[in-house]
Amino acid sequence: MRNNYFKSAFILGGTSTIAQSICIKLADNGCKKFHLVSRDPTANKKLIEKLRIFYKAEVTTEKNDLLLNTSLVDNFKPKVDFYDMYLIAPGLIGNNDLANSNSKEALKINSVNYAGIVPWLIEIMTEKRIKFKGSLWVLSSVASDRGRPSNYHYGASKAALSVFCEGLLLRCVNKPFSVRIIKAGYVSSPMTAGAPKFLCTSPNKVASILTKAPYRRGIEYLPWWWNLIMFAVRRLPSYLAAKL
Ligand SMILES: NC(=O)c1ccc[n+]([C@@H]2O[C@H](COP(=O)([O-])OP(=O)(O)OC[C@H]3O[C@@H](n4cnc5c(N)ncnc54)[C@H](OP(=O)(O)O)[C@@H]3O)[C@@H](O)[C@H]2O)c1
């Protein structure tokens, strides 16, 4: 257990595989209060029991579907209270082929990865909150670095998320609050069922790396060697990038 560590955490996307690993690592480091927001809070039963029974943590849950957060008619205003750290974890690859001809699928991917998250980020990142120490971690993706034919709907929505959060990050320069944009490569989870195994990192490993530096700020590739891969991918000529 460490002093000066997060004592409370607000997790948007509490059922995500990576978020669950992060929660356990945060608890290992002394975090005692969790608020888990997800579409189905009962899906977190095992995690909640472990946090409550093994770590003696206080856990609350909230039901939310991001697809319902983007209406321009009703002003959706989520409650985010005051937590030491906020983790933004929802993500949807969706069906890229379907999205090419079906705008509903395209907008669904956009809402889960970006538009539906915006109202939450607005409530978290108030001028009042960023005057105090705390941290926002955002799970973005290496897919945001280049629009590839096989997943550009997902990549574009993650790029929007990354750029929006880079604005938040720069707003926090010289402020006690830190913003951390995590461009993860393949991580073993339901999202990467068909991904090459040798490129996949375990959610535990990802959680270990992240929780070692809780107040780090900036944009980081995870694991670090994805920075090298994406350096090359960004420079591939179109005729090669078209095959990705
Ligand atoms: N796995 C990877 O290789 C990888 C790589 C780079 C970045 N990331 C990012 O890391 C984050 C976590 O991914 P993961 O690997 O842990 O994937 P995961 O286990 O599939 O988790 C995805 C999360 O998104 C939530 N979600 C999907 N649709 C939603 C909706 N309409 N409303 C609210 N929540 C919704 C899911 O909730 P339900 O449980 O209700 O479905 C789940 O909590 C995502 O942002 C992902 O884009 C992952």
Residue matched to tokens 């001809």: 101
Range of the structural domain that residue 148 is part of: 8-241
Q: Is the pLDDT of residue 1 over 70?
A: no
Q: Ligand 1 — pocket residues by CB below 6 A?
A: 13, 15-18, 38-40, 43, 65-67, 89-92, 112, 139, 141, 184, 186-187, 189-192
Report yes or no on 1 lying in a domain.
no
Report yes or no on 102 lying in a domain.
yes
Q: How far apart are CA 240 and CA 226, in angstroms?
A: 19
> From ligand 1's centre to the CA of 199, what distance in Å?
18
Q: Which atom of ligand 1 is nearest to the CA of 154?
A: 47
Report yes or no on 182 lying in a domain.
yes
Report yes or no on 179 lying in a domain.
yes
Strand partners, 138: 88, 181
- pTM strictly above 0.85: yes
Q: Which atom of ligand 1 is nearest to the CA of 188?
A: 1
Q: How far apart are CA 32 and CA 81, in angstroms?
A: 16
Report yes or no on 3 lying in a domain.
no
If pLDDT is split at 50, 70 and 90, which confidence band does 121 have? very high
Q: For 131-173, how does the pLDDT look when each residue is reduced to its tens digit (9 = 90+)?
A: 999 999 999 999 999 999 999 999 999 999 999 999 999 999 9
Report yes or no on 2 lying in a domain.
no
Nearest CA residue ID for atom 42, ligand 1: 16
Report yes or no on 153 lying in a domain.
yes
CATH number, position 132: 3.40.50.720
Cα→Cα distances 230→117, 156, 184, 203, 242, Å: 25, 15, 11, 20, 15
Q: For 14-61, how does the pLDDT look when each residue is reduced to its tens digit (9 = 90+)?
A: 999 999 999 999 999 999 999 999 999 999 999 999 999 999 999 999
What is the Cβ-side half-sphere exposure of residue 17, based on CA atoms within 13 angstroms?
Answer: 15
> What is the count of structural domains for the chain?
1
> From ligand 1's centre to the CA of 174, what distance in Å?
31
If pLDDT is split at 50, 70 and 90, which confidence band does 2 have? low
What's the confidence (pLDDT) of residue 114?
98
- Check if the beta carbon of residue 92 is closer than 8 Å to that of residue 112: yes
Q: For 191-225, how does the pLDDT look when each residue is reduced to its tens digit (9 = 90+)?
A: 998 888 899 999 999 999 999 999 999 999 999 99
- Check if the beta carbon of residue 25 is closer than 8 Å to that of residue 95: no
For residues 82-113, b (16+ Cβ closer than 10 Å) or e, as one string? ebbbbbbbbbbbbebeebeeeeebbbbbbbbb
Report yes or no on 70 lying in a domain.
yes
Q: Which atom of ligand 1 is nearest to the CA of 67?
A: 31
Q: Which atom of ligand 1 is nearest to the CA of 195?
A: 3
